[in-house]
């Protein structure tokens, strides 16, 4: 076909090139759809090669696992307590007491949950842990 008869030449100055309303025949057609369109259909071979774990769930994060959002280490208790002998970590919004650091004084700590290491360090210093009821 001669160049002078081709659509690209014929429709110069006409922004739609004969494809109707403005915006038709643009964008997603050249890529097989927007976003994740076609991953179960025409993009399946691409998915198997490039992203085989796209569908499904992560076996290492079970659905019932709840990670505490706020915790405190045993080594931070001196800064939190000041001159007090008892600490109510539950009322401060702390969910768990962890065992990193050293305890200088004996404390009576009220907290929802704690580790064995934290309990051992507090009891070795002469204090005790009360669980939240």
- pLDDT tier at 133, thresholds 50, 70, 90: low
Q: Which of 105, 104, 107 is CA-nearest to residue 130?
A: 107
Rounded mean pLDDT, 110-117: 94
CATH fold, domain 71-131, is: Ribosomal Protein L15; Chain: K; domain 2 (3.100.10)
Shared fold status for 3-50 and 71-131: no
Does the structure show a pLDDT above 90 at 22? Answer: no
Q: Residue 84 contacts by C-beta under 8 Å, 6 or more apart in sequence?
A: none
Taking CA 62 as the corner, what is the angle to CA 60 and CA 68, rounded to the nearest 5 degrees? 100
CATH of 3-50, one of 4.10.990, 3.40.1350, 1.20.120, 3.30.70: 4.10.990
- pLDDT tier at 25, thresholds 50, 70, 90: confident
Beta-ladder partners of 114: 97
Mean pLDDT of the chain: 88
Q: Are 28 and 34 in contact (CB under 8 A)?
A: yes
Q: Which of 89, 86, 85, 105 is CA-nearest to residue 97?
A: 89
| Structural domain spans, the chain | 3-50, 71-131
Rounded mean pLDDT, 6-20: 85
């Amino acid at each position: 076909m001669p160049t002078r008869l081709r659509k690209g030449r014929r429709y110069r100055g006409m922004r739609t090139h004969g494809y109707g309303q403005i915006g038709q025949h643009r964008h997603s057609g050249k890529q097989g759809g927007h976003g994740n369109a076609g991953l179960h259909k025409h993009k399946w071979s691409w998915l198997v090669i490039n992203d085989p774990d796209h569908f499904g769930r992560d076996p290492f994060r079970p659905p019932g696992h709840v990670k505490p959002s706020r915790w405190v280490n045993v080594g931070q208790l001196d800064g939190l307590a000041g001159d007090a002998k008892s600490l109510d970590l539950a009322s401060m919004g702390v969910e768990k007491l962890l065992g990193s650091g050293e305890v200088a004084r004996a404390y009576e700590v009220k907290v929802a949950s704690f580790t064995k290491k934290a309990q051992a360090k507090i009891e070795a210093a002469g204090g005790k842990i009360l669980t939240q009821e």
